[in-house]
Amino acid sequence: MNLMLSDVVWFGALCIAGALWWHGQGVKSFALKKVRKYCEQHNLQLLDETLVLRRFWPVRGEQGSLALRRNYRFEFSSTGEYRYTGRIVLLGYKVSSVEVDSYHLD
C-alpha cells in the first residue's frame, strides 16, 4: 500500500479537527456545569439542558498566552411560564461572565 504525502496531510488534518472538536465538547460540558450551578444558586430553571455556541475568537489570556474566548447562550425560566435568555462567556476553562435577561420573580 502506497501512502501519498497528501494522504498523510489529510489524515493529520482530520486528527487535529477531531482533537479540537473533542476539546470543545469538554469546554462546553464545563460551561454547562457552571450554568447549572448559577441557575441553582439563583433559583432559576435551566431549560432544555442546552448551551449553544454563539461565537468564539482568539484572545490573549492573563499571562499573554493565546486562548479561545467562547460565548454560549442558554434559556432559563424563573416561574416555569416564560423563557428568558442567558449568556456565559469563557476564556479557556475560566468563566469570564454570566449574564441573564431581566425576569419575573414569584
pLDDT tens for 65-104 read 888 999 999 999 998 889 999 999 999 899 999 999 998 8
Q: CA dist 45 to 12, 33, 53, 103, 104, Å?
A: 42, 13, 20, 12, 13
Grid cell digits, residue 87:
449568556
Report the percentage of the chain scoring pLDDT > 90.
74
pTM listed for this prediction: 0.83
Q: Where are the domains of the chain?
A: 5-100
User: Which of 13-22, 55-64, 76-85, 94-103 comes out lowest in average pLDDT?
Assistant: 55-64
- Residue keyed to cell 482530520: 14
Q: Which long-range contacts (CB under 8 A, 24 or more apart) does 24-28 make?
A: 24/53, 27/70, 27/90, 27/92, 27/93, 28/53, 28/72
CA torsion, ordered 38, 41, 42, 43, to nearest 10 deg:
110
Q: How far apart are CA 46 and CA 76, in angstroms?
A: 4
